[in-house]
Amino acid sequence: MAQVAERSSRLQSLLSKRAAELPSKPRLDATQAANQISFTYGFPDPASLPADQVAEATVRALKDRGHEALQYGDAKGYSGLIDELTKKLNRDQGLEAGRDNVLLTAGGSQALALVLDALVDWGDTVITEEPTWMGAVRAFKNVGAQPVAVPVDDEGMNADALERELKRLKAEGIQPKLIYIIVNFQNPSGVTTSLERRKRIVALAQEYGTMILEDDAYYDLRYGGNFLPPLYALDDSGSVLYLGTFSKIMGAGMRIGWLVGPPELIMKLAILKIDGGTNVFGAHVAAEWMPEHLDAHIEKLRVIYHRRRDLMIDALARHMPDGVTWTTPDGGFFIWVTLPDSIDTEHLAAQAKESGVAILPGAQCFVSDQGKNTMRLSYSYANDDQIEPGIKILADVVKGDLLETAGK
C-alpha cells in the first residue's frame, strides 16, 4: 500500500494540466446493466446494427483491396471513403465539398478534440450553446478552454445573446476561437435551429472573425419538419467546419467521423493528427458498405426512431405530473425535460436507477452551474416495449419527489 501511495504521489507530480483535474471515471459506460431501462446515452438502436451487411462488406473489401486496407493509410483518411462521403454530402446535405475539404476522424469525439487542439491554447475562449453535448463540456475542460455559454431556446442558439457575447468579448480584447453548435435536433435539447437563426449565426461568425464548429451527427435522422441547409452550406467564407459521423447511421463501433472545411485547415488538422491514418481497415469496410446500404439503412432508422419518439412523447403526456415540460424533436435521439425548480435531477437519477431506469441529469450538459432541474432522455437505445414502462417508473419517482418537497 505504501508503494501504491508513493507511486500515486510521484505520478501526480508528473501530470500535465490536462490530466491533473480529470473526473474519476470515463464519460461513457458502455456496459449497461441488463435489468435496466436505459434512457441515458445516445447509443444507436442495437437490434438495427447492420452486422451481416458489414461482414459481407468486409469480405469484399479485403478481397479487392486487402493489402491497402491492412496497411498504413493517408493522413487525411482513405480516399475511397472520402469520395463516397463527398457524393453523399453534396446530394443530401447540400455541401459543396471535394476531396481536399474532408478529413476522416475516429468518430465525432476525436474530431472535436482535434479541432480544439488546433485552435485552443490553455485559457482561450470558446463559445458554446447551453445546454450542449456533455462530451463537448468535457473536451473543453481537457484543453483548458474557457467556455462562454449562449442559451438555446425553441429556435436554437439565441442569436441576440450570441451577438451580445461576441461584442462583449471584442470589447474586452478577447478573440473567441470557435463557436460550437449542433443545429439539428440538438444534443441534448432536441431543438432544431431555425433558418433565420442559422443565417444570422453564420453572419456573426464572419463579422467577428471566428470559426464555427457545426456538429451535425443527426442530420440524416430527420422524421419531422423540413430539411434545412447546414451552416456550412450558408457560408461562403470558409468560416465553418462541419462534423459528421457514422456512429448514428451505420454503427458507433466503426469509430469513423469526418470534418469538412477549408482545405488549408483540413490539411493542418491532418498533419496535427499523426496517427498513421484513421482506422484504415474500418474506412475500407465503410466505403464498401456505404453505396449499397446507407440510404436504405437511414430510411429504416428513421422509422424506428420516429416510432420511439412518439412512444416516449405519448408516455410523458400520459404519466408526467403538471409542471413538467419537454421538447418534441423533429429527429435525432433526445427529448429534453424541464422539471419544477425544487427537483434536482442528480438526486432523481439515483432514485430512478434504483427503480430500474437510467437517465442523464441535465447539469452535465451545462458549462455553467445550471440545469439542475433538467434531464435528457434518449429514446434510441431502449426498445419499443421499454419506453412506456420506463417513463411510468420515472414519472412515479418525479411525483414522489414533488410530494416530498411540497411537504417540506
Chain positions 140 to 169 lying near its own copies, rule: CB under 8 A, are 142
Q: Which of 175, 325, 383, 405 binds its own copies (CB under 8 A)?
A: 175
- Binding flags for its own copies, 282-301, as an x/- string (CB under 8 A): x-xx----------------
Selection from 63, 54, 99 nearest residue 78 by Cα = 99
Nearer to its own copies, 178 or 183 (CB): 178
Nearer to its own copies, 47 or 171 (CB): 47
Interaction between residue 11 and its own copies (CB under 8 A): yes
- Grid coordinates of 331: 429527429
- Binding flags for its own copies, 48-67, as an x/- string (CB under 8 A): -xxxx-xx--xx--xx--xx
Stretch (H or E) spanning 398: helix 384-406
β 211-215/178-181 pair status: parallel
Residue listed under C-alpha cell 473526473: 23
Nearer to its own copies, 260 or 324 (CB): 260
Q: Whole-angstrom Cα distance, residue 148 to residue 165?
A: 8
Q: Which of 13, 34, 154, 322 binds its own copies (CB under 8 A)?
A: 13
Q: Which of 138, 293, 306, 392 binds its own copies (CB under 8 A)?
A: 138
Task: Find all residues with CB under 8 Å of 59, minimum gap 6, and list them.
Answer: none
- Grid coordinates of 131: 445546454
- The nearest distance, CB 88 to its own copies, in angstroms, is 19
Q: Which of 95, 98, 104, 124 binds its own copies (CB under 8 A)?
A: 124
- Residue 61 near residue 68 (C-beta atoms within 8 A): no
Q: Whole-angstrom Cα distance, residue 42 to residue 173?
A: 38
Nearer to its own copies, 74 or 396 (CB): 74
Interaction between residue 403 and its own copies (CB under 8 A): no
Q: Which of 211, 217, 294, 301 binds its own copies (CB under 8 A)?
A: 211
How does DSSP classify residue 362?
G
The footprint of its own copies on residues 68-87 (CB under 8 A) is 68-76
- Grid coordinates of 146: 474557457
Interaction between residue 122 and its own copies (CB under 8 A): yes
- Binding flags for its own copies, 231-260, as an x/- string (CB under 8 A): ------xx--------x--xxxxxx-----
- Residue 217 near residue 248 (C-beta atoms within 8 A): yes
Report the DSSP beta bridge partners of residue 360.
376
Q: Whole-angstrom Cα distance, residue 328 to residue 388?
A: 16
Give, in order, the Cα–Cα distances in Å from 67 to each of 284, 296, 302: 11, 30, 36
- The nearest distance, CB 396 to its own copies, in angstroms, is 29
The footprint of its own copies on residues 96-115 (CB under 8 A) is 106-107, 109-110, 113
Nearer to its own copies, 71 or 325 (CB): 71
- The nearest distance, CB 283 to its own copies, in angstroms, is 9
Q: Which of 81, 102, 148, 265 binds its own copies (CB under 8 A)?
A: 265
Selection from 313, 325, 321, 317 nearest residue 401 by Cα = 321
Nearer to its own copies, 27 or 91 (CB): 27
Report the DSSP beta bridge partners of residue 211.
178
Exposed e or buried b per residue across 34-50, where buried means at least 16 C-beta atoms within 10 angstroms of its C-beta:
eebbbbbbbbbbeeeeb
Is 83 exposed, middle or buried, given 0-12, 13-18 or 19+ CB atoms closer than 10 A?
A: middle
Q: What is the CA radius of gyration of the chain?
A: 22
- The nearest distance, CB 227 to its own copies, in angstroms, is 26
Helix axes 384-406, 345-354, angle to 10 degrees: 120
Q: Whole-angstrom Cα distance, residue 313 to residue 58?
A: 39
Residue count at the site for its own copies (CB under 8 A)? 99
The footprint of its own copies on residues 321-350 (CB under 8 A) is none
For the chain, report the end-to-end CA distance as a whole number of angstroms.
Answer: 46
- Span interacting with its own copies, options 188-196, 223-231, 281-289, 340-348, rule CB under 8 A: 281-289
- The nearest distance, CB 40 to its own copies, in angstroms, is 12
Interaction between residue 174 and its own copies (CB under 8 A): no
Nearer to its own copies, 78 or 326 (CB): 78
Q: Which of 172, 274, 322, 407 binds its own copies (CB under 8 A)?
A: 274
- Binding flags for its own copies, 15-44, as an x/- string (CB under 8 A): xxxxx--xxxxxxx-xx---------x-xx
Q: Which of 38, 192, 279, 380 binds its own copies (CB under 8 A)?
A: 279
Angle at 225 between CA 194 and CA 298, to 5 degrees: 115
